[in-house]
Homo-oligomer: A and B are copies of this chain.
Amino acid sequence: MTTAQRPTSEHPRRLVLTLGCPDTTGIVASISGFISDIGGWITEASYHSDESTGWFFTRQAVRIDSPEISIDDVRERFASIAAAIGPDAEWSFTDTAVEKSVVLLVSKDSHCLTDLLSRAERGEFPATIAAVVGNHRDLEELTTRFGVPFHHVPFPADGKAEAFAQVRGIVDGYDPDAIILARFMQILPADLCQAWAGRAINIHHSFLPSFVGARPYHQAFDRGVKLIGATCHYVTADLDAGPIIEQDVSRISHDYTTADMVRQGRDIETLVLSRGVRWHLEDRVLVYGRKTVVFS
């Protein structure tokens, strides 16, 4: 589904390496030697040594001036470097000239949808929004205004399994790099969590792990907290407990009703989700266990 993306001055072509492996001496020397060998120029380099697990993580963005070098060649050549680093090394090498695609799952709330469509339209993401799937028709007209196809999949109380099967068929047809639950109010079944592991991203309208589950603003109101928050995380079979990509909060006061929280919360939700989505699409998020390294 991906198509060639024309690099622009705002989004110049970069090869992006991400790598995680048990830490040992010489890894950085190997990688930087390799990049130097292929005539690459490191424009961004980030490293993290995790003391608690003994793992090492890196992300490197590489400028390549010779356009004839293909990402497939680079991957083939890097494979032997990675093998020398160790058998457990996990890595990817991507080319920002290859555009990614995204599918959004929505329900009735429009704020995250509008925000993501707008950002994609003005080129903030290195991706196109290929389609939107909604369990209601409320957001169909809004979606099509932006020239994006909308698929309606009803979720009857006694037919959720079939509905999810249908959603899966539609989504997988686009082979997307990310499936974004943009205030989708249905809980993904375990098989979908598994099939979309590392690609399905949710926005939860609380500062997790506080206020898991339904109606978090009502929970926040009842508890009398002084800040509300939002959390962008990878979806796992464990509800609202997947690896956190990004979080933020916003101050409220005693005179906020839950309706006020809902209104103000929209701004935090859209910001947090859009950051998480961009970082995911730019290969800035490395998952390990239930946590993430984010080289933002």
Q: Which residues of A contact B (CB under 8 A)?
A: 10, 23, 25-26, 28-29, 32-33, 35-36, 39-52, 110-111, 114-115, 118, 121-122, 124, 145-146, 207-211, 221, 223-227, 229, 243-244, 246-249, 253-255, 257, 259, 263, 267, 271, 290-294
Assess whether B49 is in contact with A42, with CB atoms less than 8 Å apart: yes
**Oligomeric state, in copies:** 4
The answer to whether B267 and A244 have CB atoms under 8 Å apart is no
| A10 to B, closest residue via Cβ | B259
- A122 near B118 (CB under 8 angstroms)? no
B49 engages A43 (CB within 8 Å) = yes
With beta carbons under 8 angstroms apart, the residue of B221, B255, B291 that contacts A224 is B291
Given contacts A111-B118, A267-B271, A291-B254, contact A36 B42 (CB under 8 A): no
B248:A227 contact, CB within 8 angstroms: yes
Min CB distance, A264 to chain B, in Å?
10
Complex contacts, A294 vs chain B, CB 8 Å: 226, 253-254
Interchain CA distance A111-B290 in the complex, whole Å: 32
Q: CB-CB < 8 A to A124: which residues of B?
A: 263
CB contacts (< 8 Å) of A115 on chain B: these are 118
**Bound complex: CA A36 to CA B23 (Å):** 13
Determine the distance from Cα of A10 to Cα of B51 in the docked complex, in whole angstroms.
Answer: 13
A224-B243 in contact (CB<8A): yes
CB-CB under 8 A from A208, the residues of chain B are 210, 223, 225
- Which residues of B sit under 8 angstroms from A225, Cβ to Cβ? 207-209, 244, 247
Identify 15 new A-B residue pairs, CB closer than 8 A, beyond the known A50-B254, A208-B210.
A26-B32, A26-B36, A28-B32, A32-B32, A45-B47, A48-B254, A52-B221, A114-B118, A209-B210, A223-B290, A223-B291, A227-B247, A227-B248, A254-B292, A254-B293
A245 to chain B, nearest CB (A): 8
Contact of A207 among B23, B49, B118, B207 (CB under 8 A): B207
- Let me know if B42 and A47 touch, CB within 8 A: yes
Q: Give the distance in Å from the alpha carbon of A246 to the alpha carbon of B253 in the complex.
A: 10
Complex Cα gap A259–B45 (Å): 19
* A32 to B26 alpha-carbon distance, docked (Å): 7
Chain B residues near A221 (CB-CB < 8 A): 52
In angstroms, how far is the closest chain B Cβ from the Cβ of A69? 14
